[in-house]
Chains A and B, each alone.
Chain A
């Protein structure tokens, strides 16, 4: 595993971390882009999913949206959006990533509200709750585990996909990898592998962290081994 040794050597050089455009900078960019993309995705996906789930309609539309984004290459959105009025820089990258964060958020929110026992809903109505009260006091609290599951899937997806921003000079950890390819395999091999390792570790860390969050917000009786992640995560990219 010679190439792994090169990667470790590269990671051990403090300059590779602290240089302008080094790992620390890139990591920060990566997290910034990911944060705003997930936030934007939540702002779009959750209200729509919750509303559709509350009304009990549009299940077909949710599935269609999820399937359509599966066929859409990230690279296409990343290259097309900067040429629209959004302009260059981080905004188009954030929007592109948010597009891929919406389906899991939307689908999980919808499923979360749909999977509430109809009897619970009826009991709440019988107690005199209005539609708005029903949503805020009964449905949303019960759907929180699903919302958290959607957030986890979406966040991991975004963090993984943000590496592709390098294709359009959008920053992030992908820059480390493509800079390595720019040097050529022989010279930059260690850097390429090191970049890959850091991106993998970051994705796994986000996955682990949000798994803990998901467990914390799920009331104990609802914690079962049953998989809650509705929309299967799509391979990033």
Chain B
């Protein structure tokens, strides 16, 4: 479909025409209007995959962080493992996963995304937890809190800023990482970017996909930052 909108746009292109004339502008509203459905589908898929990956990672990461926090000898190995896993290139991870789980669904992309998000989340949650002052911990024990009660009512709330920071980092990098999934056609907006490149360098498609991707990352980051402010009202006075 998209090559049909290759004809010079009816509306003057907003961006400066590229070297090869106005036929292939970097941005055109015509393209956005004509492909609104495709764009919306890709954006929804992209956001959905990001949300699923980050939420799954959060569900796994919190217990892991608490485990590393309670059992000190585990902290070193967990952080070291996260360091090693981080150096594994995303494309290679996808290459190792895809033949095992198949490419017809986005499972392999999801697993890769969860693994990467997991590491950021565990690291930041652990940092947040270990920054709880000893006096606070002792005071909570003195008030009669047990291990779980203290964790839920005192330590986790105090670690929230760290957890939120991790959540923001994980979300932003996951949005960018989803595009790598276009290797197997499961890349959301990345499919648009790569499709535009392969479709005779259709600049409007490439740039629209890229802009949406960056915008999605920034919007989610701001939303999580706002959520963090709502959840931790006691930190508000300090930053000013």
Contact = CB atoms under 8 A, between A and B. Distances in A.
A73 B100 contact: no
Interface stretch (A52-60, A133-141, A198-206): A198-206
A9 B217 CA distance: 41
B50 to A, nearest CB: 12
Nearest to B211: A76
B116 interface: yes
Nearest to B218: A71
B206 A237 contact: no
A167 B182 contact: yes
Interface stretch (A18-26, A110-118, A173-181): A173-181
Nearest to A85: B19
A83 B203 contact: yes
Contacts, number: 148
Interface string B93-114: 1111011101100000000000
B43 to A, nearest CB: 14
Interface stretch (B7-15, B34-42, B137-145, B173-181): B173-181
A82 B18 CA distance: 13
A79 interface: yes
A93 interface: no
A235 B87 CA distance: 7
A129 interface: no
B176 A237 contact: yes
Interface residues on B, range: 35 or more
Interface centre among A3, A70, A79, A156, by most chain B C-beta atoms within 10 angstroms, is A79
Given A232-B169, A234-B173, A79 B193 contact: yes
Contact of A207 (B87, B197, B213, B221): B87
A160 B87 contact: yes
Interface in A98-120: none
A73 B179 contact: yes
A79 B88 contact: no
B86 interface: yes
Interface residues on A, range: 35 or more
A70 B87 contact: no
A197 B96 contact: yes
B92 A163 contact: yes
B122 to A, nearest CB: 12
13 contacts: A71-B217, A76-B210, A79-B194, A83-B206, A164-B91, A177-B95, A181-B98, A192-B95, A195-B95, A196-B96, A203-B89, A234-B173, A237-B180
Given A70-B176, A163-B92, A234-B173, 10 more contacts: A71-B217, A71-B218, A74-B179, A76-B213, A166-B91, A181-B103, A193-B96, A193-B99, A204-B84, A204-B87
Interface of A: 3, 67, 70-76, 79-80, 82-83, 85, 156, 159-161, 163-164, 166-168, 174, 177-178, 180-181, 185, 189, 192-193, 195-197, 199-200, 203-204, 207, 232-237
The 8 closest A-B CB pairs, nearest first, are A196-B95, A76-B210, A160-B89, A237-B90, A71-B217, A199-B92, A235-B116, A196-B92
